[in-house]
Amino acid sequence: MTTYHRRAALGLLGTGMAVLAGCSGSSDDGNGSSNENAGDGDEPTGDGDIDGENGDLPSYASILPQGDDPSYFYGAIDAETLTTLLNDEGAAEGTEPTDPLIGNPVIMAVLFGRFGSQASLRAYENNDETPADEGVLIDANGVYAIKGQYDRSGLVADLESAGYTADAETDAYSIYSDDESGEVAGVTDTVFALTTPNPNDDSFDPVAAVERVLETAVGDRAPKHEVDGDFEWLLRASSTDGMALCRYTEAEAFDPATLGNDQVDANSLEFAFGAVEGANGIHQQLSIAGESATASAVVTYADEGSVDLDRLESALGTDADSVDFGQDGPAVAIDAEYGGDIVEE
């Protein structure tokens, strides 16, 4: 069994993570947005009974926007998990996870740790009014959004004092950008969102991307799950406890040329999605409690004949103490337990 030290493997030393863990908590809404619900509700059990019809949506589904791109990515982490990880005093070096059930959430957490500039995080911290038992950090297709409660006017004033200039102002939201860094910040009474230009995608418009999230949050745009039944099914079938991430396409299958190991920055951080070649959706979840961790995933295909169970079994849960696979038509559920992984020795 491999031990992954939380602080070493997850790289959660970024200013953004420390600020968020100190100011927000986890919500008790949704199917697993609170660790108190672990093991209950509609979590996939690996027994072939995968319920995407009656499961609850995560509390943050209402801010996941619909866009023009048929491919979709989101990630989320609750503050209870942030606090657990940041309070680990074990700084000894651990090995990087090779099991994608752990590795993909780890990469997502590392990216969250690089969230925000000093100026935008200072404005956030000064004007965050989120109760301790609410709030979650989300990556919605490249826009980082924190669902909470904010003093919008105070946050805007702090951004202006830091040199940000207005891009859009409505009764419901404000969008500001920093010309020097290219960072774009948006705020409503309940969402604070940030993004920067994507050096790997010239078509990515950071102002438009932030505006999509804010319009969705205030009800001016339908969220992704309301216009895409397959995406809604995947959310309802999956657990969102602790850390969650989802990759999805409206096509019949992911493009194999862009799936595999996807480099996400210049430091060669890579998501490992090669196991789901031929699929069109994967939703993963990782929870850490005490000296153990649990991971689950739901993988969907266009039809039952496309399911590649051998590929999934050979790549997912390889570092687990126990792992269970269950198929229900064109969907596969995976549950894994890591007794002692991702914890300090």
- Residue 36 is predicted with a pLDDT of 34
Mean pLDDT of the chain: 81
**Is residue 196 a contact partner of residue 206, using CB atoms and an 8 Å limit?**
yes
- Residue 65 is predicted with a pLDDT of 96
d(CA 41, CA 54): 10
Given pLDDT bands bounded at 50, 70 and 90, which one contains residue 109? confident
Tell me the percentage of the chain whose pLDDT exceeds 90: 57
Q: For residue 91, is pLDDT > 90?
A: no
Q: Which of 101, 109, 78, 127 is nearest to 13 (CA)?
A: 109
Given pLDDT bands bounded at 50, 70 and 90, which one contains residue 107? confident
Q: For residue 4, is pLDDT > 80?
A: no
d(CA 276, CA 282): 7
How far does the chain reach from its first CA to its final CA, in angstroms? 12
Mean pLDDT for 19-27 is: 47
Amino acid 141 reads N
Mean pLDDT for 201-220 is: 95
Higher pLDDT, residue 78 or 160 = 160
* pLDDT tens-digit series, residues 283-336: 999 988 767 789 999 999 999 999 999 999 999 999 899 999 999 999 999 999
- Residue 126 is predicted with a pLDDT of 94
d(CA 47, CA 41): 15
Mean pLDDT for 167-183 is: 96
- Residue 8 is predicted with a pLDDT of 42
Pick the range with the lowest mean pLDDT from 21-30, 134-143, 182-191, 284-293: 21-30
Residue 3 DSSP symbol: -
Give the three-state DSSP class for 85.
Answer: helix
Given pLDDT bands bounded at 50, 70 and 90, which one contains residue 22? low
Higher pLDDT, residue 198 or 34 = 198
Mean pLDDT for 129-151 is: 88
Determine phi and psi for 111, rounding to 5 degrees.
-65, -40
Higher pLDDT, residue 42 or 18 = 18
Residue whose pair of structure tokens reads 């950008």 in the numeric block: 177
Q: Is the dihedral of CA 20, 21, 27, 31 positive or negative?
A: positive
How many other C-beta atoms are found inside a 10 Å radius of the C-beta of residue 175? 23
Q: For residue 148, is pLDDT > 70?
A: yes
* pLDDT tens-digit series, residues 29-59: 434 333 333 333 333 344 456 878 888 999 8
Residue whose pair of structure tokens reads 């994507």 in the numeric block: 198
- Residue 260 is predicted with a pLDDT of 61
- Residue 40 is predicted with a pLDDT of 35
Given pLDDT bands bounded at 50, 70 and 90, which one contains residue 134? confident
- Residue 25 is predicted with a pLDDT of 39
- Residue 29 is predicted with a pLDDT of 40
- Residue 184 is predicted with a pLDDT of 97
* pLDDT tens-digit series, residues 242-259: 899 999 999 999 998 888
